[in-house]
């Protein structure tokens, strides 16, 4: 496989990584319809853990089958498929080598009141299953944020030594943040920056709104305002990720109309984000509709 100049440039940003980690990043970046462009669309399916099986899969019952998601990601020509241990294990032989996988190694669930996640997979699981990366969520601002960051530090050290890439879901939440604050621009950029500082290769955040939440940051944003435009907000988050030297993808969120999702993708593209990581908006639609939507998203990123 001939790496494109764009992918070579991206790999050069990760100056400390060993050839194994770079090869795994290249696998993800060269895969699927966006292979070689530096843009990505990834399918994450850990919602069964996070929200429960019925809330996740009842809208499209075929999605109860773990094989469905591997096949969807493959048929849509996506860059990678991310899921917790059991989901990856359930298709590991059938889909070995078919598409890069990201083992989600911690998970939350809706039967808890604490903003925390349990470690539910390991680096050796990821290696055994042929995954390209581990995925880990932190909740900046939660009462458990420092424990989560310390768990991530250990797993990141181990993953990098084993030649894996690290994908960090950085989702601010906790007692000092209300719903508006969780996706406020300053908080989102801060959360993305911390993921970069923790050594993430790929950073995943929710698309930011125009709100500014942290009192201590308000003066700075008044003096250096970010234009009220979705693409400019994405560009601000990208800047917070080492001035664009880290890959940043944005999540899809709850089920919404195709136009809204494609509008977000256009803003991510225009703002220099590297792509989308879209779960419910893909697998909760009937397969044909999902394939059409994912194909339209790929087209946005190809432009
Ligand atoms: P969606 O596209 O379905 O939002 O998936 C992205 C994701 O990060 C999943 O990986 C995760 O299960 C879910 O969102 C968590 O969402 P939340 O923390 O908001 O409940």
Q: What is the pLDDT of residues 2-60, one digit of tens each?
A: 999 999 999 999 999 999 999 999 999 999 999 999 999 999 999 999 999 999 999 99
> Residue 166 phi/psi, 5° resolution?
-125, 125
Q: What's the chain's length in residues? A: 303
Whether the pLDDT of residue 303 is over 90: the answer is no
SS3 content of the chain, % helix, strand, coil (to 5): 50, 15, 35
Residue 44 CA: nearest ligand 1 atom is: 10
Residue 103 banded pLDDT, cuts 50, 70, 90: very high
Distance (angstroms) between ligand 1 centre and the Cα of 226 equals: 26
Q: What is the pLDDT of residue 268?
A: 98
Whether the pLDDT of residue 185 is over 90: the answer is yes
Instruction: Compute the distance between CA of residue 174 and CA of residue 184 in angstroms, rounded to an integer.
Output: 14
Q: Which residues line ligand 1 (CB under 6 A)?
A: 44, 46-47, 50, 169, 171, 251-253, 278-281
Contact 80, 73 (CB under 8 A): yes
**CA count, 13 A, side-chain hemisphere, 151:** 23
Instruction: Compute the distance between CA of residue 215 and CA of residue 231 in angstroms, rounded to an integer.
Output: 24
Q: To which residue do tokens 């992918």 refer?
A: 7
């Amino acid at each position: 496989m001939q790496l494109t100049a764009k992918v070579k440039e991206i790999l050069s940003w990760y100056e400390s990584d060993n050839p194994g980690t770079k090869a795994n990043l290249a696998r993800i970046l060269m895969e699927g319809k966006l292979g070689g462009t530096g843009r990505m669309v990834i399918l994450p399916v850990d919602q069964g853990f996070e929200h429960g099986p019925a809330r996740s899969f009842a809208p499209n019952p075929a999605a109860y089958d773990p094989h469905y998601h591997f096949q969807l990601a493959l048929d849509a020509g996506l860059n990678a498929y991310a899921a917790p241990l059991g989901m990856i294990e359930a298709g590991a032989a059938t889909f070995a080598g078919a598409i890069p996988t990201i083992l989600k190694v911690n998970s939350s669930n809706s039967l808890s009141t604490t903003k925390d996640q349990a470690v539910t997979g390991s680096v050796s699981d990821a290696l055994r299953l042929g995954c390209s990366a581990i995925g880990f969520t932190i909740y900046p601002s939660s009462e458990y944020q420092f424990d989560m960051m310390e768990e991530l530090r250990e797993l990141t050290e181990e993953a990098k030594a084993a030649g894996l890439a690290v994908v960090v879901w950085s989702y601010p939440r906790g007692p000092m943040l209300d719903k508006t604050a969780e996706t406020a621009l300053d908080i989102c950029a801060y959360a993305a920056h911390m993921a970069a500082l923790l050594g993430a290769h790929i950073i995943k955040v929710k698309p930011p709104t125009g709100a500014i939440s942290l009192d201590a940051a308000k003066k700075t944003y008044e003096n250096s305002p970010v234009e009220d435009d979705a693409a400019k907000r994405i560009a601000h988050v990208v800047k917070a990720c080492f001035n664009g030297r880290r890959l940043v993808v944005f999540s899809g969120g709850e089920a919404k109309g195709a136009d809204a999702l494609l509008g977000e993708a256009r803003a991510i593209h225009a703002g220099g984000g590297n792509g989308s990581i879209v779960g419910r908006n893909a697998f909760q639609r009937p397969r044909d509709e999902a394939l059409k939507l994912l194909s339209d998203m790929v087209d946005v990123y190809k432009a």
